[in-house]
Amino acid sequence: MPTSPPPRRAPRWPWPLAGLLCTACTASLPNMQGVQHAPAGATAVAPIPITQQLLAEQEAARRRQLQDLSVFAGPAAPYAIGPGDLLSITVWGHPELAAAQLATPGPQLSPGEQAAASTVPGFLVGPDGRLQFPFAGALQVGGLNEQQAGDLLAAKLARVLNQPSVTLRVLAFRSQRIYIDGEVKAPGLQPLDNQPMHLVEALNRAGGMLPSADQSRISIVRGGASYRVDLPALIRHGGDPTAIVLRHGDLVRVASGEEGKVFLTGEVTTPKAVAMHSGRLTLNEALGEAGGVSPVSGDARQIYVVRRVGDESQVFRLDAREPGALAIAEHFELSARDTVFVAPNGLTSWNRTLSLLIPGSLPAAVGTGTGR
């Protein structure tokens, strides 16, 4: 007599494995306070809630950054004569002294400048800042402006001439320069003359900025300190870019737009790197570029922005389910190299943890439970 097969029973999990799964499930549940447990020996970074107060603090920080540019404000000092400058000197009433004299090129000049100086009439300032002139000898004119150098020469000539009238002008400006680097058409040296050189003119002399340039990340290095110039923000807040006056030795660098990307990862529809627009990108815009939070696996309560500031990291957190959260996200401005991370919801975390612990067992258990 045939016997019926015994009823199929659902598999029973071994007790140690069941305990491990319970532990994994508890650990994978979303933390309602947004504070993640750090590994042993690491320092936990408490997320900073993105609120209206934080937006006000960021706006105040941007205004302070614009005020820091006051170091470049103020009238430009007269051009100071230096080594390599070529001078035109006329002593009125004494044509024998005003006769053209070919300058002797100094060793500090480039080969092209030496060739030009050897054919231009004038008096060359030596590497030590001294000028040789008949009846006056060697004069230390380095660091003086045209008026001061002319008065010094007239005082020296007054020993042999009666009330000499001297006109001194700079023919070739070679001693003072600035350096322009980065995303401009013609990077390199730009000489300074007796007209003030402001930032916009310096960029125009370098051929202008390339389409790949990030106008919000222009750096000026002076005296070992670096200052950031955000041209769009400066204009937006009523600033005047022509008030940023450069001086000898300044280094101007225009960053590339490729360096100003923001990275979106985690539970977004399309994880990707998003380029900033003229140095600006809000959290809402970045999420929109990535297709938003995944409706299946993302936890809208846990949207994080990770930012590196010097040697420290900052973590900001947004709960998109709170009233007004989207309006706040629209005004929270991201910085270059920020990482936006959307955490998974509790069910997604549980499934992933289970799959890592017992690969392939979850589908088998589901099939067994349904009698397949």
Residues 51-72 have pLDDT tens digits of 999 989 888 887 777 667 777 8
> Domain 65-76+176-257, what architecture?
Roll (3.10)
Q: What percent of the chain has pLDDT over 90?
A: 36
36-45, 154-163, 351-360, range with the lowest pLDDT: 36-45
CA angle (72 as vertex; 70, 77 as ends), nearest 5? 130
String of DSSP letters for 310-361: TTEEEEEEE-TTSTTHHHHHHH-B--TT-EEEEEEPHHHHHHHHHHHHSTTH
Q: Is the pLDDT of residue 308 over 70?
A: yes
Residues 258 and 212: beta-carbon distance below 8 Å = yes
Quick one: what percent of the chain has pLDDT higher than 70? Answer: 74
pLDDT (0 to 100) of residue 137? 86
Query: Of 15-24, 35-44, 165-174, 309-318, which gets the smallest average pLDDT?
Result: 15-24
Tokens of 358: 């017992």
Distance (Å) of CA 93 to CA 157, 284, 371: 13, 76, 118
The structure tokens listed for 264 are 């979106």
3-state secondary structure 144-176: CCHHHHHHHHHHHHCCCCCCCEEEEEEEECCCC
What architecture is domain 86-172?
2-Layer Sandwich (3.30)
Segment 338-366 shows an average pLDDT of 67
> What is the rounded distance in angstroms from the CA atom of residue 82 to the CA atom of residue 126?
8
Q: Long-range CB contacts (< 8 A, 24+ apart) of 93-100?
A: 93/164, 93/165, 94/161, 94/164, 97/133, 97/134, 97/135
What is the model's pLDDT at position 357? 63
**Calpha distance 351→74 (Å, rounded):** 64
Which residue type occupies 349? S
Beta bridge partners, 225, equal: 222
At 361, the pLDDT band (50, 70, 90 cuts) reads: very low
> So where are the chain's domains?
65-76+176-257, 86-172
What is the distance in angstroms between the CA of the first residue and the CA of the last residue of the chain?
27
Chain-centroid distance, C-alpha 183 = 12
HSE of 359 in the Cβ direction (CA atoms, 13 Å)? 1
Q: Count of CB atoms within 10 A of residue 252's CB? A: 24
* More confident position, 93 or 181: 181
Q: What are phi and psi of 205, to 5 degrees?
A: -65, -25
pLDDT digits (tens, 9 = 90+) for 217-250: 899 999 888 888 888 888 887 888 888 999 999 9
**What pLDDT was estimated at residue 199?**
92
Q: How confident is the model at residue 306 (pLDDT cuts 50, 70, 90)?
A: very high
pLDDT at 35: 39
Q: What is the DSSP string of 98-127?
A: HS--BPPPPTTS-HHHHHHHTTSBSEEPPT
Residue of higher predicted confidence among 118 and 77 = 77
Task: Compute the distance between CA of residue 312 and CA of residue 369 in angstroms, rounded to an integer.
Answer: 50
Write out the two tokens for 81. 């004569």
Task: Share the mean pLDDT of the chain.
Answer: 78
Residue 313 is predicted with a pLDDT of 86
pLDDT at 271: 93
Query: How confident is the model over 314-336, as a mean pLDDT?
Result: 89
- The count of other CB atoms within 10 Å of the CB of residue 292 is 16
Distances (CA, A) of 79 to 76, 103, 211: 9, 21, 34
pTM, two decimals, is 0.65
Split at pLDDT 50, 70, 90, the class of 7 is: low
Output the CA–CA distances (angstroms, integers) from residue 219 to 167, 183, 252, 330, in the order listed. 40, 12, 6, 27
Residues 6 or more apart whose Cβ sits within 8 Å of residue 347: none
CA distance 283 to 86: 56
Q: What is the pLDDT of residues 86-111, one digit of tens each?
A: 998 888 887 777 654 544 444 444 55
Q: What is the pLDDT of residues 255-302, one digit of tens each?
A: 988 878 899 999 999 999 998 887 788 999 999 999 999 988 889 899
| pLDDT 10s digits, 185-219 | 999 999 999 888 999 999 999 999 998 898 888 99
